[in-house]
Copies of this chain bind each other. A is one copy, B any other.
Amino acid sequence: MIKPLGDRVVIKVSEGDIKTASGIVLPDTAKEKPQEGTVVAVSDGKYVEGKKVALDVKVGDKVIFSKYAGTDVKFDGTDYLIVRDSDILAVVE
């Protein structure tokens, strides 16, 4: 599997219709559009002022992130996105 480094997270992006079970519907505006997905891997932690701390998300979290963030990778036929945790806006609970 892919192990992200530093402050990075691997996300399985929700495809197609973005009206998910959680009820998120992204508006059709000219503003920055967020996307939804599920965290499938997180790094071992990031440095904050010299101390290594855990990221704010964990594997399994459904998250909202900026559409233009990150780098696409395909692994065993599945598309993933590697993003920095600061590009994740919120967790859907």
Contact = CB atoms under 8 A, between A and B. Distances in A.
Contact of A71 (B53, B66, B91): B66
Q: What is the interface of chain A mostly: helix, strand, loop, or mixed?
A: strand
Interface of A: 1-6, 8, 10, 23-27, 29, 31-34, 41, 43-44, 47-51, 53, 56-57, 64, 66, 71-77, 79, 82, 85-86, 88-93
A90 B3 contact: yes
A91 B3 contact: yes
Contacts of A75: 23-25
Nearest to A63: B5
Contacts of A3: 90-93
Contacts of A57: 5
A40 B82 CA distance: 23
Contacts of A48: 47, 50
